[in-house]
Chains A and B, each alone.
Chain A
Amino acid sequence: MKYLFFLFLVVLATKTNAQPKQGAKAFEIALPSLKGDTVKLSTLKGKVVLLDFWASWCKPCRASNKELVKIYAKFKNKGFEIFAVSLDEEKAAWKKAVAADKITWIQVNDMGGFDAKIAEQWDLFAIPTSFLIDKDGTLIAMDLTGKQLEKALKSLIDK
């Protein structure tokens, strides 16, 4: 009985500490793209995925987009995909930023900024926040810089 109680405590502790950690499985995300169709994160299983939370008004995110464009071009045909979730509250602003930054990877949006459900689920403290997910859907790294990401992709994909 004591063990049961202990187990319950452990479960409780892990539940309150919501932000997914390294080694955890990525939560499913199903959100609308710019065209309006729902895109699911789980459909990318088998690929190495960068899950990137951003918004058009977040300048550091826009700077990171510039680097991602180069990295994406290098690795997209080798089994790498970027799943970007925008927290923009205005669809027009999001659309404009996607075009301006020449983004060709997957873009979905959860309106409502930090109050959006997705922001709560992933316990976003600030953006940009990104997670690197391996072929099995396991989170293997968080907030890598452009160089670190490239290095990680080389070891994961090029081998």
Chain B
Amino acid sequence: MKKFIIFPICCLLFCLCSMAQFTKASLQATGLTCALCSNAINKAVSQLPFVESVKSDIKNSSFAIHFKGNMYVEFDDIKKAVEDAGFSVGGLSITGRFDNVQVEKDKHIQIGATVFHFLNNANQILSGEQTIVIVDKDYLSAKQFKKLTSATKMSCVQTGKANADCCTKDGIKAGTRIYHVTI
């Protein structure tokens, strides 16, 4: 007897539930675009005045960018070129020759015309060929950036610029672009 009661109730519940009509959904998917499959990044970056060549580095799914010698390199212009091509930067490591550069955690160092702020690294002297990673906003994934910024209280890490309470020591003017990097 019980069965005969439960069954119609289940039916009724089911009918009530299935009345809902879905009208919209928002789907976020990754891996939609194959960056290496697009010639757009390649073309956009190779048109920068300080870029000598851009090669697809298939093994690392990245682009190997070679700079012209004796030319000022503006990393933000690379980011802009990538974004203008419809993509975003997932990581940018830069390699250069260092001549006994003393780096300390949260200390500013001017290399050429660019000011770097070294985050989270032990005090050391850089010499010879070294690679550093830019960790400013939109230079890595949002998740990685969040993780990194939660480890520091300095507001300039968020903005990438020197402001009154942050990054202005060492005689740096407020508003100066500062690249935050790690080794």
Contact = CB atoms under 8 A, between A and B. Distances in A.
A126 interface: yes
A126 B33 CA distance: 10
Interface in B20-66: 31, 34, 36-40, 42, 55-56, 58, 61
Chain A CB within 10 Å, residue with most, of B31, B34, B39: B39
Contacts of B58: 57, 89-90, 93
Contacts of B61: 57
A128 B34 CA distance: 10
Nearest to B61: A57
B37 A58 contact: yes
Interface string A54-97: 01011111000000000000000000000000000110010000
A125 B31 CA distance: 18
Q: Is the interface of B mostly helix, strand, loop or mixed?
A: mixed
Contact of B36 (A57, A119, A124, A128): A57
A119 B55 CA distance: 15
Contacts of A126: 37-40
Top 3 closest A-B pairs, CB basis? Answer: A126-B38, A114-B39, A58-B37
A107 B71 CA distance: 43
Nearest to A120: B39
A127 interface: yes
Q: Place the interface of chain B in its size category.
A: 10 to 19
B40 A125 contact: yes
B39 A58 contact: no
19 contacts: A55-B37, A57-B61, A58-B34, A58-B36, A58-B37, A59-B37, A60-B34, A93-B58, A113-B55, A114-B39, A114-B42, A114-B56, A119-B39, A125-B38, A125-B39, A126-B37, A126-B39, A126-B40, A128-B37
Q: Place the interface of chain A in its size category.
A: 10 to 19
Nearest to B36: A57
B56 A60 contact: no
Contacts of A61: 37
A55 B42 CA distance: 16
A114 B16 CA distance: 57
B56 A113 contact: yes
Contacts of B36: 57-58
Nearest to B56: A113
A125 B34 CA distance: 12
